[in-house]
Every structure is written in structure tokens, then in C-alpha cells.
Amino acid sequence: MNRRNLLGLALVGSLTAGLAACGGGDDPLAAGDTGSGDSTATSAVIIGSANFPESELLMEMYAQTLEAKGVEVQRKPNIGARELYLKALDDGSIDLIPEYNGALLAALSEGGAPEGVSTPEQVLEALQGVLPEGTEVLEQSPAEDKDSLSVTEATATQYRLTSIADLAPVAKDLVAGGGPEFQERYQGLIGLKELYGVEFKEFKPLDPGGPLTVGALKDGTIQVANIFTTDSAITTNGFVVLEDPENLFLAQNVLPLIRSSKNDQTITDALNAFSAKLTTENLTQYLAQVQVDKKDVAAVAKDFLTANGLV
């Protein structure tokens, strides 16, 4: 099976769910359309983001890093779930997007990520064999943001939950929630059933680790939430992140995914230098400024790059 077909597999099945995650019916790829849908019609590097705050912050950090090196960029934030932005990368609507190595590997691999692959180095090596034709990844950062299943402290105490495995006998009485695409992904309900025997009473499609999911967990609408581990809501609300002994959620190091036709040495060097400075700790810190302090994304990105000598 060739790489192009692997991309097709990643798009089939959960595209409808990804569209729902965008909301409103507006097409985030429509603005600034070149007519052909091929970004080679413009010299600018078009940088996209998924539909959650961390991705938008990383997009802005990438953009300002490249602008500091004289690279012309355009921004297309809030495209939607992976199924949508991979399609945008494939058809040339965007050139570059921040990604997570493990989630990308799982999305592009038929049947999910290969067995025995879990560390950042193993994931990156396996990823090279399934990248869509005409794309490449640059150096991965130490920063990692994994999917999690999180519960309130009260729920953890009531059901004696410390790991995902503990959910198996009680999940039939619990409602889970998260991004709509979580229903269709192996790193979601499919893998939970296969690896852990976990089947929930109901799944509520909300948003990918966003305010709807957090709010539903807090008010008891759901009892288990798919939240990203760098989300400040976990600490702020005292949520309990359940351990993942079967490594359903692989290493998720942040790295740039770029169309090869738009890459050059200036871009490679700039983004590799950025990735070397990005850690789980500082990503969590600066993301909290966006999510909790409600600071402007562009201003937070600039502060990070300045503090780390990148601009």
C-alpha cells in the first residue's frame, strides 16, 4: 500500500466527525484561497492549526519564528481535526502544521501504530515509512502533549480509579466525552475496547480537550474526559489523569509536518532551533497564559520566542 493511500485511510470514516468539530459551517480554508487550492501559487508558507488552543499557539510560534528569518507566511488557524488538516496538506491548502508524532503515526498506519512502538525515537522512525508522499517532518521537540482519560477526584475515589484498566468493570455506568473524532480513532474508543475492554454507557461528542469537555466533566454531564496532558484545566480543577499501562496513547512529541516543496534550509534550521527550545514544562506554562489568563495568542508566542532567544 503506498503512502498516498495511507493518507486516504486516515481521512475515511471520521471526516464527518471532524467537520462537526469545526462548527458553524464556515470553511476556515476559504479565506485567502488562491483559486487552484495549490499553495505553490503563492511564495508564502501557509501554516495551519487544528481546532484547539495549543495547536493555534504552536502555529503562531512557528509563524513568528519563520518571520524572524525573513520567511513570508500566511496563517490558517482552526481548520479542524486531523482528518481535515491532513486533507488540506494533501491538496495544498496549507504547507505546514504542528503535529504530534504518535497520533500522526497512528492516523497514517493501517490498523493503528505498530506493536512495540512507544518511545519517541521508535515512533519517529516508524513515522518515516508512512508519511504521505511529498511531506516530511522536521526534528521533534522534547515537548510532549498526550491524550489522557481524566476524571474528577470524586469519581476516582468512588470507583477506585488509578488507571484506564480500572474502568473496565465500571465503564458501563459512566459517560465519556471529548472531541467527536475520539469515537472513530484507534487512540480513542476503538483502542479502549480492544486493549482494555472498556465500553462506556455513552460517549458525548464535545470538543477536543476544550472548554465544553472540561465543563461537562466539572458539572457531571460526563464522568470521563479525553483531555490533553498539557491542559492547565487538569491542575486547576484537580482532575485525576488515569495511567495508561498498555500505552494506548503513544509518545506525542510536538514536531513540524511540512510539504517538501515548500521547505528549504532556512525553514529547517529555524524550526529545528525552535523545537530544541520547546519543552513540556514551558509549553504548559505558556499555554496556560492563553487558556487561563486569556492573553492574546500572538503576544504569548512572541514572549516565548523572546525569552528563548529565537527572535
* CATH code assigned at 275: 3.40.190.10
Among 71, 125, 127, 118, which Cα is nearest to 99's? 127
Same domain membership, residue 175 and residue 31:
no
Helices (H), 160-294: 191, 211-219, 232-236, 265-277, 280-291
Same domain membership, residue 95 and residue 82:
yes
Say if residue 264 is exposed, middle or buried (CB neighbours under 10 Å; 0-12, 13-18, 19+).
exposed
Rounded (5°) CA angle 9-7-249: 75
Task: Output the nine-digit C-alpha cell for 157.
Answer: 475515589
Same domain membership, residue 270 and residue 229:
no
Same domain membership, residue 236 and residue 161:
yes
Q: Quick one: what percent of the chain has pLDDT higher than 70?
A: 87
Same domain membership, residue 126 and residue 19:
yes
User: What CA–CA distances, in Å, run from 95 to 46, 223, 256, 267?
Assistant: 5, 38, 10, 12
Residue 248 lies in a domain: no
Same domain membership, residue 266 and residue 122:
yes
Cβ atoms of residues 65 and 310 within 8 Å: yes
**Domain harbouring 193, CATH code:** 3.40.190.120
Domain termination site, one of 203, 218, 241? 241
Same domain membership, residue 68 and residue 21:
yes
Same domain membership, residue 127 and residue 47:
yes
Alpha carbon 46 to its chain's center: 18
Among 217, 190, 222, which Cα is nearest to 203's? 222
Same domain membership, residue 266 and residue 230:
no
User: In terms of residue numbers, what domain contains 276?
Assistant: 3-144+253-307
Same domain membership, residue 166 and residue 63:
no
Same domain membership, residue 167 and residue 50:
no
Per-residue pLDDT, 42 = 79
Instruction: Tell me the average pLDDT of the chain.
Output: 88
Q: From the CA atom positions of the chain, what is the Rg in Å?
A: 19
Residue 80 lies in a domain: yes
Among 152, 167, 191, which Cα is nearest to 243's? 167
Task: Output the nine-digit C-alpha cell for 117.
Answer: 512502538
pLDDT at 14 over 90: no
Task: Output the nine-digit C-alpha cell for 266.
Answer: 532556512
Domain termination site, one of 241, 271, 294? 241
Task: State the pLDDT confidence band at 40, using cuts at 50, 70 and 90.
Answer: low
Per-residue pLDDT, 39 = 64
pLDDT at 167 over 50: yes
Among 175, 196, 174, 176, which Cα is nearest to 186's? 196
Residue 132 lies in a domain: yes
Number of domain units in the chain: 2
Distance (Å, whole) CA 301 – CA 311: 11
Per-residue pLDDT, 290 = 95
Same domain membership, residue 108 and residue 44:
yes
Domain termination site, one of 212, 241, 270? 241
Give the tens place of pLDDT for each residue, 94-149.
999 999 999 899 889 987 778 778 789 999 999 999 999 999 999 999 999 988 99
